[in-house]
Amino acid sequence: MRDSRTGRIALVQVPNPALGVWALCTVAVRVGLFADRAAEVRWIGAGALIAWSADEVIRGESPARRLLGAVVLGWQLFLLAR
């Protein structure tokens, strides 16, 4: 994978804000922070993951990222619908 700005190979990239929000929400729920608001924190995390996956489907830089976004988006929508 190459950095789109420099063209250099990128081994590690800072996640975009939506993935950061999802990761923080996931950790908060697993650790037990905001135990009385766990459902709301899960919804916020799911919304952030849906935003990230939709962004990848629309603007992903490679077919693999678009496919990953589509799979995650489909899974999240399935989880919301059940």
63 Cβ neighbours under 8 A, 6+ residues apart? none
Statement: residue 6 has pLDDT above 90: no
Distance CA 73, CA 67 (A): 10
Q: Which two tokens stand for residue 68?
A: 């990953």
Cα 28 from chain centroid? Answer: 16
pLDDT band of residue 14 (cuts 50, 70, 90) is confident
- Report pLDDT for 70: 97
Region 4-23: what's the mean pLDDT? 82
Task: Give burial (CB, 10 Å; 0-12/13-18/19+) of 44.
Answer: middle
Q: Which of 54, 41, 40, 49 is nearest to 20 (CA)?
A: 49
**Domain-by-domain residue ranges, the chain?**
34-81
Band of residue 5 on the pLDDT scale cut at 50, 70, 90: confident
2, β-bridge pairs: 9
- Does residue 37 register a pLDDT over 90? yes
